[in-house]
Structure 1
Amino acid sequence: METVTVVGLGKIGLPLASVFANSGHFNVIGADKNEKVVETVNKGISHISNEPGLDQLLYQAWKKGTFRATVDTAKAVSQSDVVVVIVPVLVDDKGKINYEFIDSAVEDIGKGIRKGTLVIFETTLPAGDTRNRFGKRIEELSGLTLGTDFYLGYSPERVYSNRIIQDLSNYPKIVSGDSGKSLQMVISFYKKALNCDIIPVSNLETAEFTKVAESVYRDVNIALVNELAIYADSLGVNMKEVIHAANSQPFSHLHSPGVGVGGHCIPVYPYFFINNGLSRGLVQLSREINDKMAKYAVNEIEKHFTTLNNKNILILGLSFRENVKETTNSSTLLLVEELKQKGAVVYVDDPLYSDEEIAAFQVEPFSMKDREKMDAIILQAFHDQYKNFDFKNFPNCQFVLDGRNVLDKKTIEGLGMKYRGIGVQ
């Protein structure tokens, strides 16, 4: 069997490697700089939680001996026929791209690569990076020639947390190569590794652009409906009702408004366009609109109380979205910042986090002993545990801000509380 090295055993890399290792076609080496991650993987134990099917897949591969992990990326690469790179590219709070981790991985790949190896990048990247930044660097480090001595592909990950295993088989795989031969090698690999539909595109840059465009589409459409929701508020129009009615027309697909957009993808990848030539227009404006929704929500609460100074506000959900333990770009962080500027005392509840983890964000972890203190509640991440949340337990709460437009307005108002959604009064 061929050997595949997956560089990066994070929330996408580990499931990907586990699926490859159970395909019946490959021996897999997982390379990661985190020694604790490598240690647990080499015991058949996943460090990724809330990912259905992953624990079993990893254990099966470990038991069969088709998956092992190492911190020595260069050595793993030197033993491999295929290298798949899924190491994050980060963006700072000013939108500047940080290549630190993936550049380090490429250095190791360049030092270990052997002739005939296929290197595929799955990390979301600005168009041109696979060829011009990473392909060239591997050439410089290895002394090998791209297209002759080694081959380069790009196939973006397109999965969603909490259903990664399912998405790997259900979503078509977009594939590309630096040449016709590379493309055929990439197609052949994924047919065996994932047994999913394949969509070949003409070059690396097209595949890179496609993945970013997917996230930009969602960000722009969320910004559109957020802008419309604010306008609807000013007219006393129920945006939730508008969306239901408008989307009965097959060419209308209004998204849902909300208190903000979080995560690794939607608020991040637009900057791959913004910082590479698309500096003005809808993409930039959408980022501004979506990041201002937390401020809008807090201002709506302040209108009810006149002042938020010394008011006790409870935010439900530290995670950036429902049922995922991940805080990257969470709207809660923006809400906390806005509330503190108004002098409010901020409490946060999240069933996926310990009190210590919540307190690390300089907020008060909520306890039921504090329930009578709460003046207002904001729903930010609608975890399953909140579907039966009992607002009766908060006798002094005056205001509920439904940041995801999912709560029952009549129930809340029946308790004498003011209900407010995003575009829903």
Structure 2
Amino acid sequence: CLSVAKGLRKGSLVVIESTIYPGVCRTVVKPLLEKESGLKCGTDFFLAHCPERLNPGDNEHSVRVTPRVVGGVDGESGEIAKALYSKAVEGKIVLVSNADTAELSKLVENTQRDVNIAFINEMALVCERIGVDMQEILDACSTKWNFYKAKPSAGVGGHCLPNNPYYILKAAKAKGFYPNLMMTARKLNDSMMPHAVDLVESALADVGMKIKGSTVAVMGVAYKENVDDVRQAPSRVIIPELVRRGAKVVATDPYVNEVNLRKVHDKIVSIEDALDADCVLFLVSHDAFKKIAPRQIKANAIVDAAFLFNRKDFTGKAYKRVGLDKSLE
């Protein structure tokens, strides 16, 4: 903001696209820009928020066609920002009442997903305990048109989803309210990471092995499929926990360059070598992993947190996934 303030001229429009907590444009950015530039917001320059909606790895919903939400710290700022984005992108531009509303809208989008994923993860834990396959449940439920389609996972990662509920928490607590549901969901999604390690330990036990001293191959260190982003990826929690329990961990990810791979783990192997480990743990449903045939997996213990395979593919081997704790066929 300081560098932007130094370059402000009369008639300038400043738009914040970064995800921020409610009120930042109005209470932080606006006063700072006015102080450093000597100009008046709403008269000399204009300020608005247009939260980014980039979805890495998604070629269908590109920046060019995705609808955008715009809110100004004052009415004129909002109108000017709307006019700018209307010329820059093809998607619908939705002008909301103010910047606070635009800021909170992005947080609600992501937090809703986090809460819904938490429900699916919790149901997967229930299924593990009562002996029902969560995948079969999802297939059945998905035949209803308004069912929220999500799969259980080994945790929620990326720069946005794990953080955004805390932005809402900050704003809510400042007004004396604690948002129980979203914070419970956040804790549950975080708990899925050590749970994935529990499944590894259980699968190894089913084939007569202990996790200590066993080689575990982590398949996918990115936070989601077909991207190279490792920010807050579940692998960054799961790998240290595997090591803490005594496993010899190797990792592979065809979408992540070696520099970023080594930020997560220093023992890197090829996909082919990873499949020879004592246990393979699939964390991400990369397209490259979907091409792996079950017969290529030499490991006797498979933990499929990416829902790439079926239990029937591994007769005589230990196969587990989130929402399915029956191991040997």
- The match for 2:191 is 292
- Does the 8 Å CA contact 1:314/1:347 hold for their aligned counterparts? yes
Query: Could you tell me how far 1:280 is from its partner in structure 2?
Result: 4.3
**Structure 2 vs 1, CA of residues 199 and 342 (structure 1 numbering), >3 Å: closer, same or farther?**
same
For 1:343, give the aligned amino acid: G
Output aligned runs, 1:228-267, within 5 Å: 228-267=123-162
Matched, 1:322 2:217: no
Letter in 1 for 2:312: K
Deviations 1:173-204 (A, max 9, x none): 11111222222111111111113211111111
Asked if 2 retains the 8 angstrom alpha-carbon contact of 1:317 and 1:348, the reply is: yes
Identity of aligned residues (%): 30
Across the aligned residues of Structure 1 and Structure 2, the Cα RMSD in angstroms comes to 2.0
Residue 323 of structure 2 corresponds to residue 423 of structure 1: yes
Does the 8 Å contact 2:203/2:320 carry over to 1?
Answer: no
State the Cα distance separating 1:286 from its structure 2 match: 1.2
SS in 2 for 1:175: strand
Are 2:278 and 1:383 equivalent residues in the alignment? no
CA contact (8 A) 1:174 1:207 kept: yes
1:216 pairs with one of 103, 111, 116: 111
CA positional deviation for 1:285: 1.1
One-letter amino acid of the structure 2 residue matched with residue 387 of structure 1:
K
The answer as to whether partners of 1:371 and 1:393 remain within 8 angstroms in 2 is no
1:289 Cα offset (Å): 0.7
**Alpha-carbon distance in structure 1 between the residues aligned to 2:53 and 2:321:** 31
- How far does residue 375 in structure 1 lie from its aligned partner after superposition? 0.8
Matches of 1:346 and 1:220, distance apart in 2: 31
- Tell me: higher relative CO, structure 1 or 2? Use CA pairs within 8 A at least 6 residues apart: 2
Residue 299 of structure 1 and its aligned partner are, at CA, apart by 0.9
> Which residue of structure 2 lines up, in the alignment, with residue 268 of structure 1?
163
TM superposition shift of 1:227? 0.7
Number of the residue aligned with 2:56: 161
Deviations 1:335-356 (A, max 9, x none): 1022111100111011123556
Q: Secondary structure at the match of 2:128?
A: helix
Q: CA deviation at 1:141?
A: 0.3
Q: 1:221, 1:254 within 8 Å by CA — same for their partners in 2?
A: no
Contact residue 75 and residue 98 of structure 2 kept, 8 A: no
Partner of 1:401: 303
Note if contact 1:153-1:204 (Cα within 8 Å) is conserved in structure 2: yes
Deviation readout 1:272-323 (Å, 9 max, x if unpaired): 1123325440111111111111111111221233431011000111111111
8 A contact 1:225–1:254 mirrored in 2:
no
Structure 1 length-normalised TM:
0.70
CA distance in 2, matches of 1:282, 1:409: 34
CA 373–245 in structure 1, closer or farther in 2 if over 3 Å, else same: closer
Tell me the equivalent position of 1:142: 37
CA distance in 2, matches of 1:372, 1:316: 9
2:220–2:284 CA contact under 8 A, matched in 1: yes
Q: How does 1:194-209 map to 2 (within 5 A)?
A: 194-209=89-104
Return the match for 2:256 from 330, 353, 378: 353
1:155-185 deviation line (CA, Å, top 9, x unaligned): 1111211346842233211111122222211
| Distance change in 2, residues 1:173/1:147 (3 Å) | same
Q: Any unmatched runs of 5+ in structure 2? A: none
C-alpha distance in 2 between matches for 1:335 and 1:361: 10
- Alignment partners' CA distance in 2, 1:324 and 1:400: 23
Residues 1:110 and 1:219: Cα distance change in structure 2 (over 3 Å): same
Instruction: Tell me, yes or no, if structure 1 residue 304 matches structure 2 residue 207.
Output: no
Give ranges in structure 1 of 5+ residues lacking alignment: 1-105
Q: How far apart in 1 are the matches of 2:113 and 2:310?
A: 26
Distance 2:51 2:14 in 1: 13
Bigger shift: residues 165-174 or 155-164? 165-174
Counterpart residue identity of residue 139, structure 1: E
SS at 2:238 equivalent: helix
Which ranges of 4 or more aligned residues in structure 1 deviate by more than 6 Å? none
**For residue 170 of structure 1, what is the aligned residue in structure 2?**
65
DSSP-derived class of the 1:184 partner:
helix
- Name the SS of the counterpart of 2:20 in structure 1: coil
Q: Deviations over 1:119-147 (max 9, x none)?
A: 11111110000111001100010111111
- CA gap of 1:126–1:357, structure 2 versus 1, over 3 A, is closer
The one-letter code sitting in structure 1 at the alignment partner of 2:191 is K
Q: Is the contact between residue 122 and residue 156 of structure 1 (CA under 8 Å) also seen in structure 2? A: yes
Aligned partner of 2:198: which letter? N
- The alignment partner of 2:264 has SS state of coil
Structure 1 residue 399: deviation in Å? 1.1
Residues 178, 276 of structure 1: alpha-carbon distance in 2 compared, 3 angstrom cutoff: closer
Q: Is the 8 A contact 2:304 2:319 kept in 1?
A: yes
Partner of 1:339: 242
Instruction: Map residues 71-82 of structure 1 onto 2, 5 A cutoff.
Output: none
Between the aligned partners of 1:160 and 1:294, the Cα distance in structure 2 is 23
**2: distance between equivalents of 1:308 and 1:244?**
33
